Amino acid sequence: MGQRAAIYCRVSTADQSCERQERDLTAFADRAGYEVAAIFKETGSGARLDRAERKKAIALAQARQINAILVTELSRWGRSTIDLLNTLRELEGWKVSVIAMNGMTFDLSSPHGRMLATFLSGIAEFERDLISERVKSGLAAAKARGRRLGRQTGERPKSDRLAPKVMALVAEGRSYRWIARDLGISKNTVNDIVKRSPAHAAVRRPDLG
């Protein structure tokens, strides 16, 4: 059986089209002698995590139905250097390469591919350090401005929001179990809301069943 490839196209916004990428990659596959097994087209920014079409291409690779994934640029495939490296390693386990139209092939079973992976690992580590440093810097700057970080002691956003409804249902004689199920919270949360309520002493606790 000849070499089979999946084509993966991605654009960032809905007003863009994958048409040019699909046309160029189809012609590229024909020149390189690949049989196109599937074409996946996606709209979404590079940072998005829910790239359903990319997952389908990976599933095809895992099923050993393709030998390569063709993209116009590596940035179309990887969300970041770290993500690119992780997916390349995953695909290498199934003997599937990622080939960009500029001729760059990532096959981690080859010396050249392993050299590139080592290079990418260094970049990925640098990228992680940069992200960590930005987060720490941002937190420090926010703290310096007097901003309180994280959920503060005593803050219960969801239960505080639901407190009036919980107390109204308790006053109607609804059970804690019923209230918890109806509002999508736990019985313990219902119990805590009632205990914190100023009207707690005046409210008869319904049967827990």
Sheet hosting strand 35-43, strand order edge to edge: 35-43, 4-11, 68-71, 97-100, 105-106
CA distances from 127 to 8, 80, 103 (A): 25, 9, 25
- Structure tokens that stand for 195 in this block: 């205990």
> By 3-state DSSP, what share of the chain in percent is helix, strand and coil, each rounded to 5?
55, 15, 35
CA atoms in the 13 A half-sphere facing the CB of 208: 5
Do residues 149 and 139 lie in contact, with contact meaning Cβ atoms separated by under 8 Å? yes
Contact of 49 with 83, CB cutoff 8 Å: no
From the candidates 12, 159, 175, 197, which is the catalytic residue? Answer: 12
For residues 108 and 92, the answer to whether their CB atoms sit within 8 Å is: yes
Active site residue 97: no
Catalytic residues: 12
